[in-house]
Structure 1
């Protein structure tokens, strides 16, 4: 009898622990810009402004999520994937954690960002090996707080020849299909999610999904099925879950359309059709996961955060200038939605984190803020000596008048991509950009000129100088690695004399 009482007491304690904190579904999309959806993210005078892309793409589940929660119009990630992904789990800025460009899928000896101009070249000391595992990491801290930590999809935290290539070495209990690569070889199960059929190579092979090999199962659906099962296992075990659902979609290759959605786009063909079906397939995954949470009876207890790791790679990140890899807003402006999977004002968890439905937030928030915010929500604690740059933005989730973080965002990209060797700094409405190769400055007022058409560096020299000095100060305070002089390998800071 005494043993039975102890068992019942332990079970009751377990139930109480699970109910004290929400489940968290962090739904991360790859290379998705704010125009790659039917949901408008561009606002003027507090009103949504539809662009033509919003009428092309079909994302009804994103629309439902936004109606159930809060949409953010000034959310930022870095201009390429790995810097954002490392910031998401470290809470540190890219200049500080030094994974300042994307890492190679397999080999940590390959410098993916190497570039050399007539005067400067990329720094040799960036973290080519990926995330520093000695740092306090989000999944590890959530696990210590009692969460079952689940990972599915694109990892890209570091190359496969380092421990950072496997999410399980970073604190995740489970890794579904994640490896060091930044994209899949193929989205089609028929080709085993490999590029071997067209390239003869296996560098981009997605691991761990052999049960779907040779089938017509699209990669997006496969990892959704697997993550839904992992969530069910957590619910059955009465353990709160932190599910990091990191889609490979909508990253290239855009070769094969998802047949489930092709008929919805009779006006498209080729890569355009493939991309549109990737978008809708991603949205279907969101809907399938929300439905499964409801079936399991935990939707009211599950917080959903929808985010992207950089601007669109498919087309210009409309309506903003340029796209992924760019120094302009198109490279860094991303969609963010926060909502409970099933709003219920009577739910105690939702009362503690009351997200206003069908609401909009215009303050600046960034990828660097996600770790401290999720730790706060999950009741996890940072070590006292931890160095982070992010801010807890839960007040922004609940609509508390702000701002709740400095209204600024620093980007440092001393590598090559669509744009090469640049730093940028947004402070409130103003944004300054420096290009190291040309030593040229750009200054934009994003409130009056959100599409960055009018460079005001010459017209507003005093303001430009002030912001340029702040840019350098922020870079120095975060211990940024500057490009180096090709002659003597000394660090080359932005040149204030060219203003």
Structure 2
């Protein structure tokens, strides 16, 4: 890994002469759909803290992730499409691969500038020791290593001496084999609780986050908070159970909103609110919730599977109560963080994301990137967006014999309901050629995942 340092340059007229690097809090929700929170149209559950965050910050309406868990986290942490870093759609406890040691993560971008770093929540980029957050730039890790519907790796789990075994579990029983929906809770590289009490994860993550922020209030810090909820099985603490008007999903979302409020209050109480950039977004489309108004949900490359709610707030830096409709996504955060903290990334690797600080700070900023690639969970390039146009390289609803490209205008037809490929053959040709060109670039310059022999 090579990171070259330099002094930060002015980002825009909005932040000129305000180059002090911010604290960064990145809240990453699991399986939360575009229409699951108030600022993006939810009405069944109440999200007052996110409503306030949006009123005090900027909403991004074309912010992209990926269809499922691991691939989205690879995009977020490395600034690259997951296919470039060879991370598949979903990693499982039996896998022997993970994020390669040579990849530069968000934490490794900010760490050389003196930042304290923490990952609190779901990791899902490899559960074996060489792939854990502590090997990828995070000083602190507390959370579950993969999705909460999975099971423990009975062969490779390392239990702490004081591990809390619950529900009649013992280490001997755990070594006999994993049980679905029972996952380990880890601190560093050790399992400290098994099975994790999922009803308390949101609260415990929040408390850990507050303690980390408080301990590092006198220095710059980066807190990555990838919540377990609202991935199934849904769970919620007693305080929030039955309180929403949308069942346990609504309860869990309202508890996540409470968590946002607790973090915001902590920043204010410590008088570091104005020094802190807070970003809230999700890893993929809704599973049981709402991806409205888009078509599709989790696992899909229709907009509802990959277009996420995103709010960014930084008082006196990001204009309050504003919206950006420009194309952006989680791959853009790494180069953006690099710019904000004053780190220049090495030129020895391709980075797919772009610095979107202008979209954060400027009013009516022009596009930073006009294109986006949609990779399926199996690693195929399934669709390509250029400006207002989105081309599916083949119709996912057709059989192999009848597959053909589909073309949608996302401005006039945001629901992707009217295929206009037949009436715009020239546009199909242009987009297809560019999609294949960019796909070839990734194939020619992809990097391996980390891999263990067994």
TM-score (ref. length: structure 1): 0.74
Structure of greater Rg: 1
Aligned mates of 1:414, 1:185 — CA distance in 2: 18
Alignment RMSD (CA, Å): 2.8
Q: How does 1:112-151 map to 2 (within 5 A)?
A: 129-151=97-119
How many residues are matched? 401
Higher normalized helix content (fraction of residues)? 1
What is the aligned partner in structure 2 of residue 477 from structure 1? Answer: 441
Mapped partners of 1:162, 1:455: distance in 2: 47
Partner Cα distance (1:432, 1:202) in 2: 38
The Cα shift of 1:404 comes to 3.9
Corresponding residue for residue 271 of structure 2: 297
Write the mapping of 1:223-242 to structure 2, written as runs, cut at 5 A: 223-235=205-217, 238-242=218-222
The question of whether the paired residues in 2 share the 8 Å contact of 1:190 and 1:216 is answered with no
Say yes or no: does 1:37 pair with 2:37. yes
Alpha-carbon separation, structure 2, partners of 1:216 and 1:442: 42
Taking the TM superposition and a 5 Å limit, the aligned residue runs for 1:451-470 are 451-470=415-434
Unaligned runs of 5+ in 1: 1-18, 41-49, 110-128, 346-353, 483-499
Q: Any idea what SS the aligned residue of 1:55 has?
A: coil
Query: TM-score, length-normalised on structure 2?
Result: 0.81
Find 1:101's aligned residue among 86, 89, 95. Answer: 89
Contact 2:283 2:308 in 1 (8 A): yes
1:84-483 correspondence to structure 2 within 5 Å: 84-104=72-92, 106-109=93-96, 129-158=97-126, 160-161=127-128, 163-164=130-131, 166-179=132-145, 181-183=146-148, 200=179, 204-208=183-187, 210=192, 218-235=200-217, 238-254=218-234, 256-265=235-244, 268=246, 273-340=247-314, 343=315, 345=316, 354-413=317-376, 415=378, 423-435=382-394, 438=400, 439-479=403-443
Asked if 1:83 is matched to 2:49, the reply is no
Q: Quote the Cα distance in structure 1 between the aligned partners of 2:348 and 2:22.
A: 27
Deviations 1:206-246 (A, max 9, x none): 324858989896210011101111111112xx221111111
Contact 2:64-2:330 within 8 A present in 1 as well = yes
CA contact (8 A) 1:75 1:335 kept: yes
Distance 1:450 1:142 in 2: 37
- The match for 1:58 among 46, 67, 76 is 46
1:478 alignment partner, SS class: helix
Partner of 1:67 in structure 2?
55
- Highest RCO, 1 vs 2 (Cα 8 Å, sep ≥ 6): 2
Greater CA drift, 329-338 or 402-411:
402-411
8 A Cα contact 2:149 2:182, kept in partner: no
Does the 8 Å contact 1:27/1:246 carry over to 2?
yes
